[in-house]
């Protein structure tokens, strides 16, 4: 964001592309891998992945992950525009970068805290309270009157968000038999990618009609819907296998 305001938006794309190329070269030259492909009869096929995706245990998890990913992707793309609306004379790209950077750091610390908490607290309790907390705190930006207030509200909204990341990853691993984790995480990423593609389209279209603030209400509503979904529809055996205290 800072570079966008200082050197221009196009140059930031050049810089980002150069960094990605450099990362690819580092992996190519420095990462050593002892790869032995599975025999054809044991390798995952499209049919086996589809069968796993619609299974009784995996389908509810994929639905949960899709809606969970849809919520932030609806409001996220409109944040720089909302900042520009709050402060038309300010540097919106710098402010957006600062907000996303600091909230990302808060999210990381929250994830570490949730990972440690999962050793003592039941996975379902962490997931439910995290979704509920983020859902309620996501409503705060609706009343933001300045960029500073928005910054504080975003930090507050990310404080319980780490519990969602840590517990949702665990749910994916617990939803399948041993040896199927690779397919399960691949399907989970596909569900997240699909929501990441649909969310900005929906959010941008609705924001052009209703304005920016209602998008945060939609995001909050989806997160609260996820909270109810976790309680009512996710298989109970996933949480009984997670350990921790009730």
Instruction: Give CA angle at 125 (197, 190), nearest 5°.
Output: 20
In the predicted structure, residue 228 carries a pLDDT above the cut 90: yes
CA 208 to chain centre: 24
Task: Dig out the tokens for 200 from the structure.
Answer: 């900005």
Burial of 124 (0-12, 13-18, 19+ CB in 10 A): buried
In whole angstroms, give the CA distance from residue 87 to residue 164: 32
pLDDT for 144-166, tens place per residue?
999 999 999 999 999 998 889 88
Q: 0.75 cut: is pTM over it?
A: yes
What per-residue confidence (pLDDT) applies to 74?
Answer: 93
- DSSP letters, 96-111, are HHHHHHHHHHHHHHHH
For residue 38, what pLDDT is reported?
Answer: 61
With cut-offs at 50, 70 and 90, classify the pLDDT of residue 35: low
Phi-psi region of 243 (alpha: psi -120 to 50; beta: other; left: phi over 0): left
Structure tokens at 201: 């389209």
Tell me: the pLDDT tens digits for 163-186? 898 888 888 888 887 777 888 899
CA end-to-end span of the chain, whole Å?
A: 43
């Amino acid at each position: 964001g800072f570079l966008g305001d200082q050197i221009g938006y196009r140059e930031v794309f050049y810089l980002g592309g150069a960094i990605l190329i450099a990362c690819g070269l580092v992996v190519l030259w420095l990462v050593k891998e002892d790869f032995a492909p599975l025999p054809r009869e044991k390798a995952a096929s499209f049919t086996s992945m589809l069968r796993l995706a619609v299974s009784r245990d995996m389908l509810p998890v994929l639905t949960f992950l899709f809606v969970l990913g849809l919520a932030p992707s609806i409001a996220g793309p409109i944040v720089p525009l909302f900042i520009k609306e709050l402060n038309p004379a300010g540097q919106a790209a710098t402010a957006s970068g600062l907000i996303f950077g600091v909230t990302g750091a808060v999210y990381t610390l929250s994830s570490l805290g949730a990972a440690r908490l999962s050793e003592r607290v039941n996975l379902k309790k962490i997931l439910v309270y995290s979704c509920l907390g983020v859902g309620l705190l996501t409503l705060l930006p609706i009343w933001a009157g300045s960029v500073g207030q928005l910054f504080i509200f975003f930090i507050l909204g990310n404080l319980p968000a780490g519990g969602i990341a840590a517990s949702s990853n665990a749910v994916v691993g617990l939803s399948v038999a041993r040896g199927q984790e690779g397919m399960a995480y691949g399907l989970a990423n596909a569900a997240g990618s699909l929501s990441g593609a649909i969310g900005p389209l929906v959010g941008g279209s609705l924001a052009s009609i209703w304005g920016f603030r209602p998008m945060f209400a939609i995001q909050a509503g989806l997160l609260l819907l996820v909270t109810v979904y976790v309680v009512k529809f996710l298989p109970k055996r996933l949480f009984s296998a997670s350990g921790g205290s009730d």
